[in-house]
Amino acid sequence: MRLHPVSRVLLALAALALGINLVMPIWRIDLGAPQYPEGLYLQIFHDRFAGDIDKINGLNHYIGMAHIKNEMFPEFEIMRYAFYLLMAWGLVTALIGRRAVLLSWLFAIAAFIIWAVWDMYAWGYKYGHELDPRAAIKVEGMAYQPPLIGHKQLLNFDAWSTPDVGGWALFFTSAIATIIFVLEWRRSHRAAVRA
Amino acid sequence: MKRPLMLTTGTLTLAGLAFVLVNSLPGCRPTTTQTVVTGDAAAKVYVKPGTHDEFYNFVSGGFSGQLAVYGLPSGRLLREVPVFSVDPESGYGYSEETKGMLMTSSGFIPWDDSHHPELSQTDGVPDGKWCFINGNNTPRIALVDLGTFRTKSIIEIPNSAGNHSSPFTTGNSEYVVAGTRFSVPMGDDAARDVSISTYKENFKGNVSFIHPDPGTGRMSIAFQIATPGVNFDLSHAGKGPSEGWFFFSCYNTEQAYSLLEVNASQRDKDFIMAVNWKLAEQLAKDGKGTRVPGKHYSNWWNEETHSAETTVHEDVLQLDPKDHPGLLYFMPCPKSPHGCDVDPTGKYIVGSGKLAALIPVFSFEKIQKAIAANDVEGDFAGIPVLKYESVLHGEVKKPGLGPLHTEFDANGNAYTSFFVSSEIVKWNVEKLEVVDRVPTYYSIGHLMVPGGDSKKPWGKYVVAYNKITKDRYLPTGPELTQSAQLYSIDGDKMELLLDFPTTGEPHYAQAIPADLVKPREVKFFKIEENKHPFVAKGEKETKVERRGKEVHVWMTTIRSHFAPDNIEGVKLGDEVYFHVTNLEQDWDVPHGFAIKGAANAELLVMPGETQTLKWIPTRVGVWPMYCTDFCSALHQEMQGYVRVSPANSTVPLKGETVSVDAGV
């Protein structure tokens, strides 16, 4: 049994919405401290960092954190292909209109999110723990791993890690795809009962 | 007991009783100054930590030659902008780049006496773009850019001596003016070398119209108008109906040249001079002026090269009013007029005769009528003198003693300062009636209402700028601070809110709502736009180079080190130029540069800027240098060394920053 036409249109739109990640930032980290009333922020795009990178690097060099540079991340070279793949997969799902394909797309999105979260955690762990032994300020037992999501206090800074526009788009796409899958499953189940 | 003794004892007893009696009655004691302040004054001037003042207040630094910036209503000093005087703290006037700003036809002049700040205007209202200020002693006008709070441009005024009636602006800052206080002989050397007693024949005054380029702020003298020899004091442009006219007060119409205190106070009336500047502008455009000798410097700060550019002009365009009737008129004004202020409607011109016991108010409409009807009482050195009664709107009778200056609010009221009776008097311009008066502590000179000399005063406060402060502050030896006093003018009664000390002697001042200035603030200079010939846009571009006896160091600063910080190969007899580029690109991160034995100054280098300090070592040895502006937790580590060898040394020239590997 094919997916409902409305579902297929919505799936196509959801797949296209992933494209937002190719132009808008995916994630952001905000930093606040008494002496930075205007705040500092870091944005993660699919291919680069943006925001107050120089200022953050300038501050972090005291405690020996690595300078954030785009070159540190081979992910920036390949992330766009992941989005191309997921978008194409979603559009094919809408075209073919089979639930099994939709399920495979859902798994693909889930796999991507798990990989992205793990990758970010791993980077954050490394960034926060691998400190330059020549650092001017050493605080015994202190690590500076940014929060994966939500708030964390790092010395005098409050750090917030939250999805940016792209992250929310990814969230909505997976949510819509999941809801459609559940509704379609129930629809086919009812059809089976009637038959 | 003998009688005289009894009498003496009796008298002493009576006197003692009277003394005790008088002193025990509070009503018989003079009231102290503190009693004037009412209960909620503190709340009205309290600016909560973390919040901003409502107004910027630009106050002349007087004999400091600088421009001071305060917040109102708090009275907090925010900044002292170096203008006419050198500033060793920042290196202004000492760094190779800034020296040109203080160049004049008399050479490098590192000081001046600044009197009158004036904000640039659009449609007759301050726009927050620039603040002009005059240099009184070596006639100059400066333009301070309110994006950077730095002196952007300084022009010297030729054929002028004592640049006092300056730098007042026209409604769209087409021109700022400069009237000479001293009349002097002009022309070539022979014409200038005359006996002082030939004042009447040989001494001439003039008023200059200076044009600031709207884009760059670079100033040039559009034209000068020659005048009879008198002293020009203050001025203000017409506005609204009087737009196109300028009014200058002048004294010493006695044309005295000695003991002016007496000799220039003889006549019952001096003049306010009305200038038809639109006509003068047209005459200048039509080529009606003549170029006369008048060497002057025009200095301009180039923000891309971070350096002064100096241009020298040999002459100036001058208009002679004798050839152009209708250009100038004199209006009699009682007793040595000082302030010359035009009300917001542009209909009335207020003259303040500093020795007069009344305030004359002239009507622009009547001036025009008198000119049309040729209603003159004679001429002064060939310039028509209009009849006093014909041009007068009216006189404010018995306002106080020694009126000096007048500012206005938006409700038709004028506020005049009285030096001798030490007070501010509020009066109605139309009705010429005194409405309120309040004492000042002590001896007020100028006063200022935010926007109070423009078309649209913001009102709210009047600030008194006082000459004398004894007993108002903790004493500091023979020299005491000058002082300003903030009064509320919101209600019917003026109310004293705050005293605050000022740097230098405060003369005139201007204030503008902070929101018109704040959004324009430059936070740092973009390093990629830096076109300084000796810029190093990164540590890789730093180097040391010998050019004969000159050693040039391309140096960078970033938290928290210099590159290079070890320099060797400098020899006695060398001149070392440290070209310091601050690589920081964040607000509020300047770096300082100082080296032991520097005979000039230190440098304060803003983010993205390059400044150069010249240093001539005097002895062989290793000389320390360090950062003077606390920049980071490692500021105290921001230091380096320069090795100086004998003149015949063969030590190779090198500069480096040596990094120690981890774990070593």
ipTM for this prediction: 0.74
> Which 8-state DSSP code applies to residue A85?
H
Dihedral sign (CA B346, B352, B356, B357)? positive
- Using CA atoms, how far residue B36 sits from A54, A120, B100, B399, B617, in Å, is 54, 66, 49, 21, 59
The answer to whether residue B31 scores a pLDDT higher than 60 is no
**Residues B381-391, mean pLDDT to the nearest whole number:** 96
Q: Does B521 touch chain A (CB under 8 A)?
A: no
Q: What percent of chain A has pLDDT over 90?
A: 65
**Residues B153-165, mean pLDDT to the nearest whole number:** 96
Residues of A in contact with B559 (CB under 8 A): 58, 61
Which of B559, B637, B662 lies at the smallest CB-CB distance from A58?
B559
Q: Does A34 touch chain B (CB under 8 A)?
A: no
The answer to whether residue B185 scores a pLDDT higher than 50 is yes
CA distance B436 to chain A (A): 44
Least confident of A29-33, B282-286, B527-531, B578-582: A29-33
Residues of A in contact with B662 (CB under 8 A): 132-134
Backbone angles phi, psi at B12, to 5 degrees: -60, -40
Residue B109 confidence (pLDDT): 98
Distance of CA A150 to the CA centre of its chain: 13
Backbone angles phi, psi at A98, to 5 degrees: -105, 140
* Cα angle: B325, vertex B330, B332; to 5 degrees: 155
**Residues B40-65, mean pLDDT to the nearest whole number:** 95
pLDDT tens across A179-193, in order?
A: 999 999 998 888 888
The C-alpha atoms of residue B461 and residue B57 are separated, in whole angstroms, by: 11
- Using CA atoms, how far residue B210 sits from A110, B234, B307, B316, B408, in Å, is 71, 16, 23, 11, 26
Residue B12 confidence (pLDDT): 60
The answer to whether residue A61 scores a pLDDT higher than 90 is no
Closest among B568, B583, B578 to B651, alpha carbons compared: B568
A59: buried, middle or exposed (CB in 10 Å: 19+, 13-18, 0-12)? buried
- Flag if A136 and B559 touch (Cβ within 8 Å): no
CA distance B626 to chain A (A): 19
pLDDT band at B27 (very low <50, low <70, confident <90, very high): very low
Neighbours of A94 (CB within 10 A): 23
pLDDT tens across B634-661, in order?
A: 899 999 999 999 999 999 999 999 876 5
Is B290 strand, coil or helix?
strand
The answer to whether residue B97 scores a pLDDT higher than 80 is yes
Q: Does A134 touch chain B (CB under 8 A)?
A: yes
The C-alpha atoms of residue B578 and residue B564 are separated, in whole angstroms, by: 11
The C-alpha atoms of residue B490 and residue B465 are separated, in whole angstroms, by: 19
B343: which 2 tokens? Answer: 């009300």
Residue A192 confidence (pLDDT): 83
B369 membership: H or E segment, kind and range? helix B364-372
Q: What percent of chain A has pLDDT over 70?
A: 99
pLDDT band at B28 (very low <50, low <70, confident <90, very high): very low
* Amino acid sitting at position B412: G
The answer to whether residue B164 scores a pLDDT higher than 90 is yes
Identify whether A36 is preceded by a cis peptide bond (ω within 30 of 0): no
Question: Which residues are CB-contacts of B593 (< 8 A; sequence separation ≥ 6)?
Answer: B555, B557, B562, B578, B580, B602, B603, B605, B611, B613, B625, B627, B628
CA distance A36 to chain B (A): 11
- Flag if A134 and B662 touch (Cβ within 8 Å): yes
B550-567 per-residue burial string, b: 16 or more CB within 10 A, e: under 16 = ebbbbbbbbbbbbbbbbb
Residue A189 confidence (pLDDT): 86
Q: What Rg do the C-alpha atoms of chain B give, in angstroms?
A: 29
Best residue of A55, A57, A155 to probe chain B, by most B CBs closer than 10 Å: A55
Q: Does A39 touch chain B (CB under 8 A)?
A: no
**Residues B123-131, mean pLDDT to the nearest whole number:** 98
- Flag if A58 and B584 touch (Cβ within 8 Å): yes
The C-alpha atoms of residue B191 and residue B247 are separated, in whole angstroms, by: 29
The C-alpha atoms of residue B28 and residue B381 are separated, in whole angstroms, by: 56
For the question of whether the overall pTM of this predicted structure is more than 0.90, the answer is: no
Q: What percent of chain B has pLDDT over 90?
A: 88
Closest among B80, B188, B558, B331 to A54, alpha carbons compared: B558
Best residue of A63, A134, A139, A155 to probe chain B, by most B CBs closer than 10 Å: A134
Residue pair B344/B411 in contact (Cβ under 8 Å)? The answer is: no
For residue A165, the cross-strand partners are none
Question: Which residues are CB-contacts of A96 (< 8 A; sequence separation ≥ 6)?
Answer: none
Residue B30 confidence (pLDDT): 47
Give strand ranges (E) for B213-302: 219-228, 231-237, 245-251, 269-276, 290-302
The answer to whether residue B591 scores a pLDDT higher than 50 is yes
> Mean pLDDT of all residues in chain A?
91
Which of A37, A55, A136 lies at the smallest CB-CB distance from B634?
A136
**Residues B607-620, mean pLDDT to the nearest whole number:** 98
Q: Does A77 touch chain B (CB under 8 A)?
A: no
Residue B462 confidence (pLDDT): 98
pLDDT band at B664 (very low <50, low <70, confident <90, very high): very low
Q: Does A192 touch chain B (CB under 8 A)?
A: no
* Amino acid sitting at position A137: I
Neighbours of B157 (CB within 10 A): 29
- Flag if A54 and B634 touch (Cβ within 8 Å): no
**Residues B296-308, mean pLDDT to the nearest whole number:** 98
B465: which 2 tokens? Answer: 């700028």
Q: Does B662 touch chain A (CB under 8 A)?
A: yes
Residue B1 confidence (pLDDT): 45
**Residues A86-97, mean pLDDT to the nearest whole number:** 94
B249: which 2 tokens? Answer: 């007060």
Residue pair B162/B138 in contact (Cβ under 8 Å)? The answer is: no
Dihedral sign (CA B296, B301, B302, B305)? positive
The C-alpha atoms of residue B236 and residue B549 are separated, in whole angstroms, by: 53
Residue pair B497/B473 in contact (Cβ under 8 Å)? The answer is: no
pLDDT band at A44 (very low <50, low <70, confident <90, very high): very high
